[in-house]
Structure 1
Amino acid sequence: MQGIGIIVSLVLARFLMPSDYGLVAMATGFTGVLAMVSGLGLSDAAVQAKELGHEQASALFWLNAGLGLVMGLGCVAAGPFLGEYFREPTVPLVTAWAGLALFLNVLALQHRVQVTRAGRYGALAMADLVTQLGAGVAAIGMAALGYGWKALVGLFMIQAAARLGTSWWVAGWVPGWPRLRDVPIPTIRLGLVVCLGWIMSSLSAAAESAALGRVAGPGGLGLYTKAQQLARYPVMIFFVPAFLPAVHRLGKHQGDTGALSREYLRLQLWVMLLASLPIGVLAGIAPDFVPAVMGSQWSASVPLFLVLLVGTLAHPMAHGAMWALTARARKREMVFFQLWSGFIPIAAIVTGALLAGPAGACAGAAASMWFALVPAGALLARRAAALDIPSYATAMLRVVTVALACAAAGWLGRAGFGWLGVGHAGLRALLGALVGCIAWLAAARALSRAVLREVLETIAATLRVGEVRWVRGLIDTCVPGEA
């Protein structure tokens, strides 16, 4: 599903201008906070609940629906104020549509919980596939026909409506009438803890939109928004899906502090090495990749993208602490880190935006990640997993050198092929990426062959080619003697 979303996003960008994205971000930055509040983390908490009867699920559905209706109306009411603040008369209309999409999305949450708890992952995946493809094709068609920002509104509206329809159809579940005594209070409490991190993330997006939209207008906000979206792709593809497996592996060693510390360090080394490949390659080929894939109107986002990639590289180091905290059920430390990792970046990004526009916001985001979140994550991991910080710092520094080697090789390869007369930016980017991958492979082998093999197997599994004979043969060739 993520692959389809990324492709749709890149194709849409080719037909749209930065100001289109900025205009929509002015509205969705605010409505995203209300969306998180309306969800209240109840779907995640309901999935984890040991028991969830029909009455309890119905109570959660109506609670979500009520919150969604209130928050959706709040979006409509806030529209005129946002339009006045940003001096953009179109923002209230976008905000109203976003409020409707919020309400539709909320109505699908508990039905998706029912499908998930029944173990029908294939049915849910198929429903999501239909939703992504349908909405993506429709939005691309609108963009190609010149509808501008309306294509982005169409994307999230069609996604919301299709997700609602497919979720209800797949679940085949009809909620009963709500009764106060059926409200599962423990599930709500867990949902609040789960939701806190998402609310902080949405507050960060709202603060970015408020500061940059006012200072730089829709064009500057659009450049920043798209650069940030691109920079987050490595995290979305590799780090986020690793959360539950990592928590499971750490949970097996709760009684052995030494084994827990070693397993945490190995997991961090694995995910950092995994993330260093796309981050290094993208950093090396960005000047050609962005205009070739997204269009020349996005060339001004390349410096912003490169600065944000620096912060993205630190993301696994900072947020990996949540693995250990979750495995050890350290709720107090979890809440602290979620608040810390929310407020500090918000302050840094807003300050940077007010001082230097989009470039300052990017610098603030990267600096807060390295100088505030990474140290806090390491200290919390030491408390939860007995992490040896000097050994950890040495290992992470070595992975950073792998990413730098990959980026430098990709940059030199791209520039070298340009000097040899390769005129097409897309071809230069492709050849530069190949050079960067070779450099990454060599540097990663020098770091740890065992971890490299695990990383290559993870990449193959992500691409659904892990069992293909020639792929396994290629892995054996790259990392011999590690079967």
Structure 2
Amino acid sequence: MVDLGRAAARGTAFTLGAQGGRFVLQIGSLVVLARLLSPEAFGLVAMATSVLGVAELVRDFGLSSAAIQAKELTNPERTNLFWVNVAIGTTCALVALVGARPIAALYGDPRVAGVVLALAGLLVVSGVTTQFRAELSRDLRFVALGVVELSAQAAGVAVAITAAALGAGYWSIVLQQGTVVLTTCVLCVVFCAWRPGLPSRSTSVRRFVRFGSHVLGTQVLGYATNNVDNVGIGAVWGAGPLGVYSRAYQLLMVPINQINDPMSRVVLPVLSRVQDDLPTLQRYVEKAQRVGTYGLGPAFGVAAGLAAPLVAVLFGPQWTAVVPVFVVLAVGGVFRGVGLVTYWGFLARGRADRQLRMYLLTRPLMIGMILGGLPWGPVGVAVGHSAAFAAYWVVSLVSMGRATGLDAGRLLRQALVALVALTLPLGLLAHLGTWLVDGAVLQLVVGGVLALGWVGLLLAVLPSQRAELAAARGLLRRERVSRA
């Protein structure tokens, strides 16, 4: 019998370690490419990827989540799921090829068509990868998944920086994305012992398609919410302002993706195995939420407070327009960081249908809030974005609790205590440091010291916060003990 707690500990420890390396690579890529490329270059690629991302979700069709969540999965079912993903990926690639010119016409920039054509073929490669990656997750092969993620990211960064230095312009970003997708596919196939055979007509995958369709609907609505800002800014304001916004948004999403994506691969298979034991599931979900409440939340609080010197050091003085956009987005990032727990809760209990129903009600309202800021440019869109995600966090927690039987009130109280006691003071103290001294580097140091001082004070005077912070480190500690 697999010790799920230990498996989660081992998986989380290695995954977060690998993601630490990936975080360094992505930040390094942001820093170097920001000095080699113009905002317009980033904006052009963002125009294409904002639309193509929908095809990427359709290509998956929620079947990776369906395979991971399933209690039982036979080899014929795996094989049929593989071929379904390949077929959908190929179809999406063909649609993207046909739609390249209309997408470019949406933005009024013919260069976008070339980017779409270059990226379309990657949808087929991703279709091949889907079930290999899902199989690694089902087998709790978190070390292999971490190696795949880190290696693919390193290869992509190396290719992008080299191409940009040679004068490839925005094509260097296209090459980066292609390298990541191809490397991921090759390594997933190498690490996975399973191999697909020929499709079997006698084996039905209807239950996976049904579950996956609910996941797909949820993901498409979520993607629309996360990317309608890029489409709106690109269509109304052009590539330059979109490049500024996309750099701020990328700076926001790097830490979110470093935690949320790999944590989903670790947490979802574990939660799915205890989905019928509600007390155990509640306990595991609370542990998972602490990664956001005592990790991402405080990080974004500090980042918002130190936005001006942070952008100056990372991107240089020519990117000062990023600062106000990033400050506002970082506030919303706090709620996005703690909000992924609702996604895990719905899927672990097999209630993707209820999650889709909630999305159908909430996501159009969120999209309206985001687009409502368009007249005020990137900053106005960022305000709408953060307000929408703050409201969604509360609504989704309540909805998830009703659909799954989990105690949403406990989760909400746990998160609010951390936000009030930790995240908000950290952000204010970090910003105070920027007023006390001059010079971007010195401001980062002083702001960081003040924030760390608050953490130390909190640990000294509040036993409850010591316990919460200890619990947040619990998975990593268990891993170290298990190796001893």
Normalised by the shorter chain, which TM-score bucket? 0.7 to 0.9
Shift of 1:40: 0.8
Aligned counterpart, 1:99: 120
- The 8 Å contact of residues 250 and 324 in structure 1, kept in 2 or not, is answered as no
Shift of 1:260: 7.9
Alignment pair present for 1:67 and 2:88 = yes
The answer for unaligned runs of 5 or more in structure 1 is: 468-483
Question: What's the CA shift string for 1:51-101, capped at 9, x where partnerless?
Answer: 434433222222111111111111111111121221111100001112112
Which residue, out of 447, 452, 472, partners 1:432? 447
- The 8 Å contact of residues 269 and 399 in structure 1, kept in 2 or not, is answered as no
Shift of 1:174: 4.6
Instruction: Classify the secondary structure of the residue corresponding to 2:168.
Output: coil
Which residue, out of 263, 266, 282, partners 2:303? 282
Aligned counterpart, 1:222: 243
Aligned counterpart, 2:9: none
Instruction: Classify the secondary structure of the residue corresponding to 2:238.
Output: helix
Shift of 1:201: 2.5
Amino acid at match of 1:76: L
Amino acid at match of 2:51: F
Which residue, out of 343, 347, 359, partners 2:364? 343
Map 1:35-434; keep pairs closer than 5 Å: 35-118=56-139, 120-171=141-192, 174-239=195-260, 241-242=262-263, 245=267, 268=289, 271-353=292-374, 355-378=375-398, 380-381=400-401, 384-385=404-405, 387=407, 389=409, 392=412, 396=416, 399-418=419-438, 423=439, 425-434=440-449
Shift of 1:113: 3.4
Shift of 1:414: 3.1
The answer for unaligned runs of 5 or more in structure 2 is: 1-17
Matches of 1:12 and 1:305, distance apart in 2: 18
Instruction: Point out the more displaced range, 1-10 or 247-256.
Output: 247-256
Instruction: Classify the secondary structure of the residue corresponding to 2:202.
Output: helix
Aligned counterpart, 2:43: 22
Matches of 2:141 and 2:275, distance apart in 1: 30
Amino acid at match of 1:432: G
The alpha-carbon distance between structure 1 residues 127 and 269, as it changes in their structure 2 partners (threshold 3 A), is closer
Question: What's the CA shift string for 1:209-262, capped at 9, x where partnerless?
Answer: 3211011111111222221222234433445555564895798697778x9878
Aligned counterpart, 1:454: 471
Shift of 1:360: 1.6
- The 8 Å contact of residues 265 and 387 in structure 1, kept in 2 or not, is answered as no
The alpha-carbon distance between structure 1 residues 405 and 186, as it changes in their structure 2 partners (threshold 3 A), is same
Q: What is the CA RMSD across the aligned residues, in angstroms?
A: 3.4
- The 8 Å contact of residues 280 and 406 in structure 1, kept in 2 or not, is answered as yes
- The 8 Å contact of residues 265 and 392 in structure 1, kept in 2 or not, is answered as no
The alpha-carbon distance between structure 1 residues 426 and 393, as it changes in their structure 2 partners (threshold 3 A), is same
Amino acid at match of 1:93: G
Matches of 1:282 and 1:241, distance apart in 2: 22
Shift of 1:21: 1.3
Instruction: Point out the more displaced range, 153-162 or 366-375.
Output: 366-375
Question: What's the CA shift string for 1:437-469, capped at 9, x where partnerless?
Answer: 2223424653622102223556x669x9x67xx
The alpha-carbon distance between structure 1 residues 11 and 85, as it changes in their structure 2 partners (threshold 3 A), is same
The alpha-carbon distance between structure 1 residues 386 and 32, as it changes in their structure 2 partners (threshold 3 A), is closer
The alpha-carbon distance between structure 1 residues 280 and 54, as it changes in their structure 2 partners (threshold 3 A), is same
The alpha-carbon distance between structure 1 residues 63 and 394, as it changes in their structure 2 partners (threshold 3 A), is closer
Shift of 1:372: 4.2
Aligned counterpart, 2:5: none
The alpha-carbon distance between structure 1 residues 240 and 103, as it changes in their structure 2 partners (threshold 3 A), is closer
- The 8 Å contact of residues 355 and 400 in structure 2, kept in 1 or not, is answered as no
Instruction: Classify the secondary structure of the residue corresponding to 1:180.
Output: coil
Amino acid at match of 1:21: F
- The 8 Å contact of residues 317 and 374 in structure 1, kept in 2 or not, is answered as no
| TM-score of the superposed pair, with normalisation by structure 1 | 0.83
Count, aligned residues: 458
Shift of 1:29: 0.7
Instruction: Point out the more displaced range, 409-418 or 388-397.
Output: 388-397
The alpha-carbon distance between structure 1 residues 372 and 269, as it changes in their structure 2 partners (threshold 3 A), is same
Matches of 2:157 and 2:444, distance apart in 1: 25
The alpha-carbon distance between structure 1 residues 381 and 104, as it changes in their structure 2 partners (threshold 3 A), is same
Shift of 1:269: 6.0
Shift of 1:381: 2.6
- The 8 Å contact of residues 278 and 406 in structure 2, kept in 1 or not, is answered as no
Matches of 1:269 and 1:187, distance apart in 2: 31
* Sequence identity (%): 26
Shift of 1:135: 1.7
Instruction: Classify the secondary structure of the residue corresponding to 2:373.
Output: helix
